[in-house]
Amino acid sequence: MKSSFYKDHTLIIDELETSIKFHNLNFILDFLPRGSYLVGGYIRDIILGREPEKVDVDIVVPFNAIEIGKKISDNIGSKFIILDEKREVVRIIFNHLYIDIANQVSSTIEGDLCSRDFSINSIAFLFDKKCLFDPLNGLKDLEISLLRTHTENNLLNDPLRILRCFRFVSELNFKIDLELVDFIKKNKGKLFIVAKERINYEIQKIVNGKNALEAVILLKKFKIFGSDNFYKNSFFLDLKKINYEELYQDEKEKFLPSFFIAQILDVELLEKLKFSKAEIAKTKLLRKWHFLLETKNITQLTESDRYKLHKELEIFLPSFIFYLPQNLRLDWLHRWRDNDDKLFHPSNLLNGDVIKKNLKIKDGPILGQLLQYLSKELAYNRLNNFDEAIYKAKQWIEQNAPKCD
C-alpha cells in the first residue's frame, strides 16, 4: 500500500488546531515526545462537523504512555486511570475531556493506523509536522459516508467492533461496505465472547442515535441477536411499516429507544446482557399486554383490565402505541398527552393516610384494594369530589371488609 502524508488539507488542520485550543488541549503538547499523534473519533467528528457531548481524545505516543499520562495528570490536577498496564493505555479525565494516551504498537504509524477498526477512525494528525496522515483513504470514506475496514482481523481482535458498525449507522447515517456486511453475517456469533456490559453500552448508543431506526432494521435483518426463528415471534413488528411521525420529537427521543430495544432483544437476552431491572420490567409489560391484546380485542377488555393496562403502562405508553390497531393510536396518544385524563393517568382523590384517619382502617391488603377501587372509579368518571370518595369508600368497606362474628 502506498502511504501518503497529506499537507494540503488546510481547512481541516485549521479546524483541528482551533478545536485543540478551544478545549485547552495545548497544555499537554509540551509533554508529548516527537512522533506523537492525534487519531480516531476526535478528528472524524471535526471533519463531520459533529459536536458530541463528551469529548474523547485519543493520542498515540511512541513510548512511555503511562509515565507521560501521569506527568500530564499531576500537572493539571486531573483524574488519572490506567486502563491497560501491560499495553500502556491510560485515561485522563479533565472537566468534559476524556483523554486516552496509548503506546504505538507497530513499528510505524501506518502499521498502527492499519490495525484500527474502520478507515474513518484511521486518520491521524501528526503534531510534529502539523499534517494529516490518511493511509486508508478514511477522508474519502467520510465524504461518501461509507463504513469500511482495512482487514477483517481488525474486527476479530475485538468483536465488539461488529456491533459498533451499527452504532455508526445510527449516529452518522453511514452505509456499511458490502464486504463488511458479508463478514458481519459470518462472524456475528463471536460478538457474544465480549463482556456483556460493553455490548449493553453499544446497544444503548445504537437505539439513541438520530438514525436508530435504520440501524435497528439492519440488526434484525442480519439477525445479530437471534436465530432464523427468533424474530418470527409475533411480538417483533415490521419496523418499516410503522408511522413514527405520530409521535412528537420529544416523545421519539424519550420512548423510541425502549421500543427499539424490545424489538431486537427478548427478556432472556436483556437479562443476559445485564440491562437494568427497569428496562427488563418495561419489556415484560410490553410483551404481556401485546400478547393479551392478540387474544382479546381491546374493546372486549373489562373495566378492570383496561384500568390495569393504563396503570402499568402509563409512564411509557408511547413505547407501546405501535402494538395497538392503527385506528386507535392517535386517539390514545391524544388522551395520554392530556394529564387530566384519569384513565390514562390513574390517580386518586384520597391517599392512604386520609382513608385511615376518616374510616379507621389499618395498613394492609384491604387498604390497597380500596385505593385501587377508588382510583378506578375516578378513572371512569364515577367520582367527582372528596365527599363522594369518602362515601364510596365506606360503601366498599361494608361490602368487602372481612366480617367478625
Question: Does any domain span residue 305?
Answer: no
Decide if 35 contacts 104 (C-beta within 8 A). Answer: yes
Can you give the pLDDT at residue 398? 87
Q: Does residue 35 carry a pLDDT above 70?
A: yes
Alpha-carbon separation of residue 78 from 212, 274, 284 (angstroms): 35, 31, 43
Any domain includes 10: yes
> Is 199's pLDDT higher than 90?
yes
Please tell me whether residues 215 and 94 are part of one structural domain. Answer: no
Give the chain's domain count: 3
Provide the percentage of residues in the chain whose pLDDT is more than 70.
97
Q: Residue 368 domain-assigned?
A: yes
CATH number at residue 234: 1.10.3090.10
Whether 160 maps to a domain, the answer reads yes
Residue 226 has pLDDT above 90, yes or no: no
Q: Render pLDDT for 93-111 as a digit per residue (tens, 0 to 9).
A: 988 889 999 999 999 999 9
The answer on 166 and 69 residing in a single domain is no
Residue-range definition of the domain harbouring residue 57: 5-144
Q: What is the pLDDT of residues 275-328, one digit of tens each?
A: 999 999 999 999 999 999 999 989 899 999 999 999 999 999 999 999 999 999
pLDDT at position 260 is 98
Are residues 160 and 234 both part of a single domain?
Answer: yes
Q: Would the pLDDT of 136 be above 50?
A: yes
Question: Rounded mean pLDDT of 186-209?
Answer: 95
Q: Which three cell numbers stand for residue 363?
A: 395498613
For residue 224, the SS3 value is: coil
pLDDT at 27: 83
11-25 pLDDT, tens digit per residue, is 899 999 999 898 888
Which percentage of the chain shows pLDDT scores above 90?
76
The enclosing domain of 42 has a CATH number of 3.30.460.10
For the segment 43-67, the average pLDDT, to the nearest whole number, is: 91
Contact 314, 337 (CB under 8 A): no
pLDDT number for residue 114: 94
Q: Which of 249, 278, 307 is the last residue of a domain?
A: 278
In degrees, rounded to 5, the angle at the alpha carbon of residue 313 between the alpha carbons of residues 312 and 316 is: 140
Amino acid at 60: V
Q: Are residues 35 and 67 in the same domain?
A: yes
Residues 178 and 128 in one domain: no
Closest CA to 323 of 396, 255, 403: 255
Instruction: Average the pLDDT over 135-156 and give the result.
Output: 93
Residues 273 and 392 in one domain: no
Flag whether 311 is in a domain: no
* Residue 118 belongs to some domain of the structure: yes
Q: What is the mean predicted confidence (pLDDT) over 252-267?
A: 97
Same domain membership, residue 52 and residue 156? no
Is residue 310, in this structure, part of any structural domain at all? Answer: no
pLDDT the model gives residue 3 = 40
Going by pLDDT thresholds of 50, 70 and 90, the confidence category of residue 336 is: very high
Instruction: Transcribe 127-164 into DSSP letters.
Output: TTTTEEE-TT-HHHHHHHTEE--S-THHHHTSTHHHHH
Q: So what's the pLDDT on residue 403?
A: 62
Same domain, yes or no: 93 and 186 = no
| pLDDT at residue 268 tops 50 | yes
**Mean per-residue pLDDT over the chain, rounded:** 92
Q: Give the pLDDT confidence of 146-171 residue by residue, as tens digits.
A: 999 998 888 898 999 999 999 999 99
* Final residue of a structural domain among 278, 311, 331: 278
pLDDT score, position 190 = 93
Whether residue 140 sits in one domain with residue 76: yes
Residue 263 and residue 205 in one domain: yes
Q: Last residue of a domain, which of 86, 110, 144? A: 144
Could you tell me if 155 and 273 lie in one domain? yes
Arithmetic mean of pLDDT, 28-36: 93
Q: What per-residue string of b and e applies to 56-75 under the rule 16 or more CB within 10 Å gives b?
A: ebbbbbeeebbebbbebbee
- Indicate whether 242 belongs to any domain: yes
70 and 128, same domain (yes or no): yes
Distance (Å, whole) CA 72 – CA 79 = 10
Q: How far is CA 6 from CA 38, 132, 192, 249, 300, in A?
A: 14, 5, 39, 41, 69
> What mean pLDDT comes out for the span 99-125?
95
